[in-house]
Chains A and B, each alone.
Chain A
Amino acid sequence: MTRTTRLNRRRRLAAVTAGTAGLALLVGACGSSGSDDGDGGGNTAGDVTADLDCAAYEDYGDLDGKTVTVYTSIVDTELEQQIESYRPFEECTGATVEAEGSKEFEAQLPVRIQSGNVPDIAYVPQPGFLKSLVADYPDAVKPVGDLASEYVDANFTEAWRDYGTVDGTLYGTPLGANVKSFVWYSPSAFADAGYEVPETYEDLVALSDQIVADNEGDPDIKPWCAGIGSGDATGWPATDWLEDVLLRTAGPDVYDQWVNHDIPFNDPQVAEALGTVGEILKNPDYVNGGLGDVSSIATTEFTEGGYPIVDQLCYMHRQASFYQANWTTLDPDLSVAEDGDVFAFYFPAPEAEEQKPVLGGGEFVVPFADRPEVQAFQAYLTSPEWSNAKATATPQGWISANKGLDKSLLQSPIDQLSVDLLTDDSYVFRFDGSDQMPGAVGAGSFWSEMTEWIASDKSDEDVLDAIEASWPAS
C-alpha cells in the first residue's frame, strides 16, 4: 500500500508519468470492478460472499438504491480486491459503493474539494495529510459518525484512534496497516551458513560482523543491502531506518516528541540514532552487497534493494511487510515463508529496551459527507466483518490493526507475522514519523537530506541541522 502511497506524494504532475497515471485514472473512472486476475502470489482469493450472514449488517439499516463514492490512492489489483471486499455490505444493505483509484490522489483531492466534486469518502494514507485537509477545508471534512466511532473504540487500540483525530475530533478511522520493522533474509541461506535470527540489536550487529568475517575471501558478499531510490520520493526508506532506530535507541516517548517537534529535529538523541544507522548504512564493510559501494544505496531503486539476497550476495535487507510483493515480482516461484526462500524477522530492539517498538503505517477513512449510507459504510469499514472480508479477498499483502481480524484468513505467513506484531501487547506501535510531519519536512527535506547523507556523504550534523531549518515556523 505504502509503495503507491509514497509515489502519490509527487505534487508535480510530472510528464514522465503521463502515459500510465492519467490513463490508469481514466480506466478507473470507467469502473473496474469485476475480474479477479493476477494476484501475483500464487495464492487464490476466497469468495467473500460465501456463507454470508446479514445479521451483523442490520445496524446499517436499509440503504437500497443509495450510492457511496470512494476516492483512494489504491489502484489496480489492490483496488479490485478492495471493491471485492465491499460486496457483503452491498448485498446485505442494498447500497452501491463506487470506488475510484488515482496515483495522483494527493494532488487531486484538494482540487476536487475546491471544485465541489467531492467524493463521499477518501482513504488518506498519512495522518499529516489528514491534518492539513482539516485545517485547509474545515467545512468539507466531516466528523466520523457515532456508529463508526463506537466500532473504532471496540476494535482498535487507542493509538490508532489518536492518529485519526485532529484537535479532539475523530475525522479518520483506520483501514489497512503495514509493519515496517522487518528485516528480510533468506532462511535457507541462514541455515546453510549456520546463522540464527538475531533476538536483540546487539546480536544483529554481531551477526553482521560475523558475516563480514566469514566472507573475507569474497568482497562482493556483504551482510546488508539497501536501496532508497523511489523517483520524486527518493530517500523515504532511509527515513524509515532512522525512525526505526530512534524508536530503539531513544524510546517511543522521545520519538513522539520528535515527530511533534516538541524537541528539535537535530536533538542529540536523534543525532545518536542517525549515528547508529550510519554504523550500518554507511559502513563499507556492511553494504551494499551485490549492488556496489555505500553511494549505490542512493541510486538503487527500493524495489530492487533486497534482490541480492536471492543471489546470496547479501544477507539482510530492512524493509516493510509490503516488500513481499516484490519477491513474487522477481520470481513467482520464490516461497515467502519461515522455511522458504525469503522471509523477514522483526528488526530487533536493544537488550536494555523493555518494550519492543514496531514502526508501521496505514490508511485512514475520511468522510466528506454525513448521509446515513456514508456513515454506515464507514462503520462497516471499521468492523471485523469487513476486515475478514478483505482478508478473504486478498491473497497476500494486506493486514489491519483491527482486533476482530481472524488471523487464520490471512494466507501469507508474513501477513500473519505482521498481525502478531500489531496485536501483541509486548510490542509498542508507532506510526511512520515522516507521514505525520508537515509536508515540507516529511515529504520534502527529510527525504532529500537523507539521500544527501548517503549519496554525497553529508555529515550527520549537517543533515539534521538542514532538516531542522526547513521545519515550517507555524
Chain B
Amino acid sequence: MSQAVPTTPDVDAPRGRKGGDVKPLKESRSDKAARKLSSKPASIIAICLAVLWTIPTFGLFVTSFRSPSEIRSSGWWSTLFTAEYSLDNYNDALFSGSTSFASYFLNSIVITLPAVIIPITIALLASYAFAWVDFKGRTFLFVAVFALQVIPIQVTLVPLLTQYVSWGIAGSFWPIWLSHTIFALPLAIFLLHNFMKDIPRELVEAARVDGAGHVKIFFQVLMPLLVPAIAAFGIFQFLWVWNDLLVGLTFGSAKGSHR
C-alpha cells in the first residue's frame, strides 16, 4: 500500500527519477481503479450487494400493508403473492386516536417553517452589516457572535425557559421559534457573512456609484447572488429543527400555573 501514497518521499521520489514522469503513473492508477470498478463482475457484485441490503427495507415496506395478526404469525416473504394487503395500518398511524401522525406532522410544520424563516431573515441583515457596513468594533462583534457557538444549548435550557415564563409567553409557540432562532443565529450569520464577503467589492461599489442605498444594494444586487447560500442554510436549519426533540420538549410544554 505504501507506494500508493504519492507524497511519501522515500518511495515516490526514487521511483519518479527512475521511471521518468510521475503524473502518467498516477493517472494510470486511478484509471485502473475506475476500470476495475466499472467492469462487469464488479457491477454484478455491486448490484447483488445493493439488492441484498435493500431486502430488509423492502420487507418492512411489505409488512406495513399486512394485518397485525399476520405480521406476528408469518414472515412477509411466506405469503408475498397470496396475502391480502390493506392500507389499515397507515390509517391507524395517521388518523387513529393514540398515534395520529397527521396532526403531529402539522405540528412539525407549524414549528419548523417560522424557525427557519426567522433566523435566515435576521442573519441576512446582520451579515450584510458585518460585511458591507463600516462601523466601529465590527470585527470584535463578529468574532463575539461567532464565538457564542461554543455554548452548548443544554446549558441554556433552564435560564431561557425561566425568561420565557417571566415574559409570559410560555405555553405558546413563541418559545420554540425564538429558541431555534437563537441557537441557529451564530452559524447562520457566519456562513452568510462569508458568502457576502466573497461577492466582488466592485459590484457593490458600482451599485453605490449608481446611487443605490443599502436597501437597494441588499435587495437588488446581493439577494440574487445569495440564493444558493440561503438555500443551503435553509435546508440545514430545516433538517435540524425537524429532527429536534430537546428544544421542542423543553419549551413546548403548556403554561404552568394560572396565577
Contact = CB atoms under 8 A, between A and B. Distances in A.
Given A108-B250, A112-B253, A116-B166, 12 more contacts: A22-B252, A23-B108, A23-B248, A24-B104, A26-B248, A29-B171, A69-B257, A111-B161, A116-B162, A117-B170, A117-B171, A119-B257
A295 to B, nearest CB: 21
A335 to B, nearest CB: 16
Q: Which of A18, A26, A76, A114 has the most CB of B within 10 A?
A: A26
Contacts of A69: 254-258
A207 interface: no
Contacts of B19: none
A368 interface: yes
A160 B111 CA distance: 43
B96 interface: yes
Contact of B249 (A35, A108, A331): A108
Contacts of A120: 256-258
A250 interface: no
Interface stretch (A96-104, A238-246, A338-346, A447-455): A96-104
A330 interface: yes
Contact of B107 (A13, A23, A104, A369): A23
B100 A115 contact: no
Contact of B99 (A20, A25, A71, A330): A20
A15 B103 CA distance: 20
Given A38-B96, A38-B97, A331-B69, A22 B248 contact: yes
Contacts of B99: 20, 76
Nearest to B258: A67
B16 interface: no
A29 B254 contact: yes
18 contacts: A22-B245, A22-B249, A23-B104, A23-B108, A25-B249, A25-B252, A27-B107, A37-B96, A69-B257, A76-B98, A104-B249, A108-B249, A111-B250, A115-B159, A116-B161, A331-B69, A369-B259, A371-B259
B72 A111 contact: no
A157 to B, nearest CB: 32
A68 B255 CA distance: 11
Q: Which 10 A/B pairs are nearest by Cβ-Cβ distance? A: A38-B97, A115-B161, A23-B104, A18-B245, A76-B98, A67-B258, A37-B97, A117-B256, A100-B254, A22-B245
Contacts of A330: 68-69, 72
A29 B257 contact: no
Interface residue tally of chain B, by bracket? 35 or more
Contacts of A331: 69
A76 B171 CA distance: 19
A17 B246 CA distance: 11
B107 A30 contact: yes
B100 to A, nearest CB: 7
B147 interface: no
B33 to A, nearest CB: 37
Contact of A77 (B98, B104, B171): B98
Contacts of A369: 257, 259
A115 B252 contact: no
B158 interface: yes
A17 B250 contact: no
Contacts of B166: 116
B86 interface: no
Interface in A22-53: 22-30, 35, 37-38
B252 A29 contact: yes
A154 interface: no
Contact of B158 (A19, A27, A111): A111
B191 interface: no
B182 interface: no
A21 interface: yes
Interface string B217-259: 0000000000000000000000000011110111011111111
Contact of B256 (A15, A17, A19, A118): A118
Contacts of A26: 104, 107, 111, 248, 252
A100 B253 contact: yes
A71 to B, nearest CB: 8
Interface in B65-106: 68-69, 72, 96-100, 103-104
B69 to A, nearest CB: 6
B11 interface: no
Contacts of A24: 104
A2 to B, nearest CB: 17
Interface in A84-143: 98, 100, 102, 104, 108, 111-112, 114-120
B138 to A, nearest CB: 35
A185 interface: no
A114 to B, nearest CB: 5
A286 interface: no
Given A22-B245, A29-B254, A307 B72 contact: yes
B253 A29 contact: yes
A118 B257 contact: yes
B204 interface: no
Given A27-B104, A111-B158, A98 B254 contact: yes
A120 B255 CA distance: 10
Interface string A8-19: 000001010111
A112 B254 CA distance: 10
B20 to A, nearest CB: 55
B118 interface: no
Contacts of B255: 69, 117
Interface string B154-176: 00011101101110001100000
A118 B245 CA distance: 21
Nearest to A29: B254
Nearest to B162: A115
Nearest to A65: B258
Contacts of A19: 104
A8 to B, nearest CB: 13
A18 B245 CA distance: 5
Q: Which of B68, B97, B161, B245 has the most CB of A within 10 A?
A: B245
Nearest to A369: B257
Nearest to B247: A22
Nearest to A118: B256
Nearest to A107: B249
A76 B252 contact: no
B94 to A, nearest CB: 13
A100 B171 CA distance: 11
A116 B167 CA distance: 12
A13 B154 CA distance: 11
B249 A13 contact: yes
A2 B118 CA distance: 41
B147 to A, nearest CB: 26
